[in-house]
Amino acid sequence: MASALQFTAISGAHSEEAVCYLLEVGDAKLLLDCGSFEDYSGEGLARLQRVARQVDAVLLSHPDMSHLGAYPLAYAKYGLTCPAYATQATHMMGRLCLQDVVRTLTAREEFTQFDEADVDAAFENITALQYAQPKTLPGRHADIVVTAHAAGHTIGGTVWTISSGGETVLYALDFNHMKEEHLNRSSLMEGAQGKVSTRLMKPTLLITGAYTALHRVPPRKRRVECFLDTVARAVRRGGNVLVPVDSAARVLELAYILNEWWSRDKARRDTHALCLLAQCSRKTRSFAQSLAGWMGGGVEAQLADRDAKPFDLRHVSTVQSVEELDRKLGGDSRARGRQRHAVVLASLESMSGFALDLFVRWAAGKKNVVILPQRGPPASLARHLYTRWWDRTQARRPTDTPMKLGAARLSRAHVSVTVKKRVPLEGSELDAWRAQERRRREQEAARDALLKRKRDMLDDDDVSSASDSDAADAAAADRRLGMAAAAGDMDAATFSQLDLETERLLSGQTYDLYVRGRGPVRGLYLVSKSYCMFPFQEKNRRSDDYGEIYDLETYMIQPDADDAAHLLDTAAPDADKPYESDTAARSETRPTKPVTKERRLQLNCELAFVDMEGRADGTSVSNIVVQLMPKRLVIVHGTSASTTALADFCRDPTVEVTKEIYTPAVGEILNVSSGVNVYRMRLADALVKHVPMAAVQGCMVGFVSGRASFSHEDQTPVLEPDHAELTNAWRPPMLVGDPRLSALRAVLVRQGFAAHFDSEGTLVCNDAVAIKRASSKRAKCDTIKILGTPSPDFYSIRAVVYAYLAVL
C-alpha cells in the first residue's frame, strides 16, 4: 500500500527565509534542507529544535547558508544526528561555507552556538552521494529510496527524488534550467528539445519554490555582459569594485567569469588586482579544482585539454584577511609607484564579514562600485541595498517587462550599518580578564590535584605501584574521563557540573554525587532524571594476573586505525600552516572583546544589481512545473505575493497543472498522500505466454484476466489463467496509444504519405483525408477522427492509424 505523505514547513514558507522542511513518508521523517542565515536566530531554529531528534534522515541540496546553514548547529546542539545525505560536491563546499561563516563570526562577535569542530563532526556524518545514485535509507526505512539529480545553481546542487511505494516526491527548490559558465543545466531539463526530463516527470508530489516567481530578468548573456560592463567602467575610472558573495557556491561562477575576462586583457591586470577575499579562500579554490568533474559548461571543455588546469582561476588572488589584501595592494604600489585598486569578491553574501569591512571603507568613494550579484537574505544589508537600488531604478519600469540591470547612484544617500569586531581588552577589563584567567587556572589545578589524589589512592591499593611515570598516567586518566564523557553523551555543561560536584565532595560538604544524565527520549520531550549514587570508583588494576603491567596505549582506540596501519603515518603538520593560521592562534593569546558599533555611511559609490543568482527565472519555473505534470504541488520559499502568483498561474484552467496546489504557511501540517494503492502480484507463466502483447510507445501492452491464487510459501498472490473466463468473456476491442497528431504525422510521413497541419491543427494527409483530435461523444477518452471520402487514401491512412495504435 502506498505511504502516507505529510509535509510541514519548518522555515521558508511564505517568506524568503532559509529553507527547512519536514517530509513524512509513512513513519519516516525526512528533513529537506536545514538552512539558517548567519544570524542564527528566529522562529525557524526553535521549530527545528523541536523536531530534530525525531528526524530519520536529512537531505541537503545546496552548499549555501540558505540550505545547510543550521545543520552543524542542529547536529551539535539539537540532536539531529541521524544519517544525512548530500552530493560529494555539496558535502565539500558546504563544509567550507560553514567554516567560513564560523570563522567570520568568531572573529567579530561572541559566537558560541557552535564551532569548527562541530562543523567537522556534522559533515563527517554526511554520506556523500553521486548524482543518479539511488540510495536506500538504512534500517527500518529501507523502502525509501532517495536520489540526487543535478540542479544547476550551485556546484553539487541537487534536486531530490524520494520514492517509496507508489509515491515519488520531487523536491526541486533552487534549480537552473540554463547552462552557465561553470555548471551544466539541471537534470530536470535533460529531456529532448529542451523539455523536461521524462524520468522526473509526473511525481506524485512536487515541492518547489517561488523565490523567482515575480522576478523578470533579461537573458543571461545580457546579465553577464552588464556585470562585466559595470566592473569595466569602475576599473577604467580607477575605482574599486566590491562584489559580496557567498564563500563556496555562487562565488565559483563569478570568479570563473571574472578570471576568463581578466585573462583576455592585460591592461587591467596592471592597475587592478582580482581578489577573492574569504576566510578560507585558498581552500575554496583548491576544492573547486578538485571538484572540476562536477562542473560543466566551459570547464568541461577544459577537462578534455591535455595540459589545461581546469578551473585554475589563474588571475584570482586568494586572500584571507583584509590585512592580506592591503599588503597585496600596498606592496605592489611601492614597486610600481602607484596605488593599485582591486576588484574583490568578498564574503559574505549578506554583506557582513569582509564584505562589510570593505563596504565601510569604499562606500564613500565616488569611483567605487558595489555590485550585488544576488538579492541577499532578507533583513541583511545586501537586501537593504538591493531594495534601495530597486526603488531608484525600477520606478518607471512597466510591470511585466524584465527589470533593468546595472548601476545607479543614490545621490546624497546614507546608510546605517552595524559593524561588529573584536578589540583587545585594555585597562580594568584586561585586569578582570586576567583575574578570571587566574581563577580558571586554579580550578584546573585543583581538579588535577583531585585526580592525582584519586590515582594515588588506587595506586596505594595496588601491589605494584609508584614506579610508573605520573605524566603518562595523568594523560591516560584524562583520556578516560574524556571517553566517559563521550560515552555518557554528556555535553560540556554536564561535564562542568560534574566537576563542581566533585569539588564539593572534596571539600567535605556532601557525600552523595548526583549525576545528571539524559533519560530516555520520549516523543518530543526530554525526560531528565537524576540518579543517586555513592561516590565509588572501581579500581583500575594496573597489572594482569602474571604481574605484567598493562600498557594502556595498547588498548586505546586509535583515532584512525587504517592510517596507523600505514608504514608512514601522514601527520603533515607543516602542510596545515599556510592555510589555517592566524585567527585561532590570535584569539587564544590576546584577550579581546566583541564590540558593536552603529555607523552611518555616506553612500557615494555606485550601486549595481546584476542578477547572477543562477536560478531559473519566474517564467521558466512555471513552464517547468507545467511540464513536470505533478499530481500534487507544494509551493514554498518565496514571499506571499510570489507564492500566490505561482499558485495562481498553476491553477489557471488553461494550464491546469493539477487541482491540488498547496501554499502552506510555516508550521502547517499538510497531508499530501495520493492514496495510490499498490501491491505485487506474480504472473503465472501459462498466463503470460498466451496474452497477445502489442507494442506501443516503447511498451508492450496486453489485456490479462485470471484468478488469484496463493502458494504456501509467501504472501504474493499469483495470477493464474482462468480458462472458463477466457473463452466466455468477449470485450469490445480497445485501442490504446499516443493520441498526439504530431507523432502520428511522423509515422505517416515515414510511410510515404504527404501529411501536414493546416491552420486549425487538422492533419491533412495526401490532401484527401483529414485527421483531427476530437472529443468523443461516447467515451471520455482521447479521440482521433478520420474524415474523408471513400478512397484508397482513406483506407490506407486508416490502416496506418490502426497500426500506430495498439489493439487490446
Partner 1 sequence: AMAAKRKAELVVPVEDENDLLRITPLGAGREVGRSCILLQYKGKTVMLDCGLHAGHEGINSLPFLDEVDPATVDLLLVTHFHIDHAAAVPYYLEKTTFKGRTFMTRPTKGVFRWLATDYIRVTNTSNSESTALYSEADLVSAHAKIEEIDVHQQIEIGGIKFTAYNAGHVLGAAMFLIEIAGVKVLYTGDYSREEDRHLVPAENPGVPVSVLITESTYGLHNHEPRVDREKAFMKQVRDVVRRRGCCLLPVTALGRTQELLLILEEYWRRYINELENVPIFFISALGKTGTRLYKQYVMDMSRRIQRQLSKTGQNPFDFRYIKTRTGASEVPETGPCVVLATPGMLQSGVSRKLLERWAPRPENGLIITGYSVEGTLAREINNSMDDIPALAGGRIPRRIAVTNISFSAHVDGAQNCAFIDEIRAPFVVLVHGEENAMMRLRANIVDKYKGSDYEVAVHAPRNAQAIELHFHGEKIARVMGGLATKVPGQGDYAAGVLVEKDFNYTLVDVADLHEFASIAPVVVEQQQYVPYSSSFSLLRLHLEQMFGELPLTTEKSNSGETNILRVYDAVDVSHSSWKTHVEVEWEGNVMNDMAADSVVAVIFNTESSPASVKITQGRSCSHSHATADETEDNGDGENNGGASGLVRTDDNQQIAAKLALFLRQQFSQIDVAEDNSSITVHLGSAHAVVDSCTLNVTSDSQVLKSRLAPIIAQVHRTMRPLAHRATALPEEPPLAQDMQEKDEADQELEPELDMEADEVDPDPDQEEAEAEPKDGLAAEQADANDMDSMAVDSNSDGSNSHDDSDGEDGGTEAQETATPTPTTADGVDASGSQSR
- To the nearest whole angstrom, how small is the minimum distance from the Cβ of residue 732 to partner 1? 7
User: By C-beta, is 9 or 84 nearer to partner 1?
Assistant: 84
Alpha-helix runs per DSSP H in 528-572: 552-555, 561-565
Which residue, 499 or 722, is less far from partner 1 as judged by CB?
Answer: 722
User: Comparing C-alpha atoms, which of 97, 419, 363, 86 is closest to residue 245?
Assistant: 97
Q: How far is the CB of 187 from partner 1 (least distance, A)?
A: 12
What is the nearest approach in angstroms of partner 1 to the Cβ of residue 181?
18
Measured from the CB atom, is 311 or 649 closer to partner 1? 311
One-letter amino acid for residue 132 of the chain: A
How does strand 126-129 pair with strand 84-87?
parallel
CB of 252 to partner 1, least distance (A): 15
Stretch (H or E) spanning 633 = strand 632-636
CA-based Rg of the chain, rounded to a whole angstrom?
Answer: 33
Least CB distance from residue 734 to partner 1, whole Å?
6
The nearest distance, CB 94 to partner 1, in angstroms, is: 11
Would you say 91 or 215 has its CB closer to partner 1? 91
CB of 682 vs partner 1, minimal distance in Å: 5
Phi, then psi, of 785 in degrees rounded to 5: -115, 130
Q: Is the peptide bond before 348 cis (omega within 30 degrees of 0)?
A: yes
Kindly tell me which of 5 and 410 has the beta carbon lying closer to partner 1.
5
Q: How many residues does the chain have?
A: 808
Contacts 24+ apart (CB under 8 A), 679-688: 679/1, 679/717, 680/716, 681/708, 681/716, 681/717, 681/718, 681/719, 682/716, 682/717, 682/718, 682/719, 683/718, 683/719, 684/718, 684/719, 684/720, 684/721, 686/720, 686/721, 687/719, 687/720, 687/721
Q: Facing residues of 86 across strands?
A: 128
CB of 784 to partner 1, least distance (A): 5
User: What is the spatial distance between Cα 237 and Cα 239, in angstroms, rounded to a whole number?
Assistant: 6
> What does the alpha-carbon distance between residue 212 and residue 624 come to, in Å, rounded to a whole number?
13
The nearer residue to partner 1, 303 or 533, going by C-beta atoms, is 303
Nearer to partner 1, 30 or 805 (CB): 805
526, β-bridge pairs: 521
Are 19 and 44 in contact by the 8 Å Cβ rule? The answer is: no
Q: How far is the CB of 127 from partner 1 (least distance, A)?
A: 11
**Minimum CB distance to partner 1 smaller for 39 or for 782:** 782
Residue 148 CA to residue 154 CA, distance in Å, equals 14
When the beta carbons of 410 and 797 are compared against partner 1, the nearer one is: 797
- What type of residue sits at position 231? V
Least distance to partner 1 from the beta carbon of 254, Å? 20
646 membership: H or E segment, kind and range:
helix 640-651
d(CA 790, CA 797): 11
Spatial separation of the C-alpha atoms in residues 801 and 787, rounded to whole Å: 13
CB 793: neighbour CB atoms within 10 A? 17
CB of 736 to partner 1, least distance (A): 5
Q: Considering the complex, state which of residue 229 and residue 738 has its C-beta at the smaller distance from partner 1.
A: 738
Dig out the grid coordinates for 276 from the structure.
Answer: 577573492
Of 652 and 725, CB closest to partner 1: 725
